[in-house]
Amino acid sequence: DAGVIQSPRHEVTEMGQEVTLRCKPISGHNSLFWYRQTMMRGLELLIYFNNNVPIDDSGMPEDRFSAKMPNASFSTLKIQPSEPRDSAVYFCASSMDIYSGNTIYFGEGSWLTVV
């Protein structure tokens, strides 16, 4: 079975450039999550969707970050303009639904370095 698929796996970009991270959730999963992980802050929830609708984006650090889910099989997280402090691993995860506390499955992550 295909798991959560993320791309790119690694990206190095210059400050000020736009970064787009992509995610394909597990088929049949209704909830999709974007997390960011750094050594200092651990795993932080940025935003999550249920049935393609953004439910809570309070974790999005600032207006430079935006996320979309145009359909059940695709989501993007965009950073524009990027800054060095955005360097982190960005994980996309999906689950059957968010309400029952079901386990969530993570993609392998997108390792972002902004120089």
100 binds another protein (CB under 8 A): yes
Give whole-number Cα distances, 45 to 6, 16, 58, 61, in Å. Answer: 16, 23, 9, 10
Asked if 101 and 32 touch (Cβ cutoff 8 Å), the reply is no
* Strand 74-79, strand 5-7: pairing: unpaired
Asked if 86 and 79 touch (Cβ cutoff 8 Å), the reply is yes
34 binds another protein (CB under 8 A): no
Phi/psi-derived region of residue 16, left when phi > 0, alpha when psi is between -120 and 50, beta in every other case:
left
91 binds another protein (CB under 8 A): yes
With respect to another protein, which residue has the nearer C-beta, 104 or 114?
104
The binder of another protein chosen from 1, 2, 42, 53 (CB under 8 A): 42
With respect to another protein, which residue has the nearer C-beta, 81 or 96?
96
5 binds another protein (CB under 8 A): no
53 binds another protein (CB under 8 A): no
- List interacting residues with another protein (CB under 8 A): 31, 33, 35, 41-43, 45, 48, 55-56, 91, 98-101, 103-109
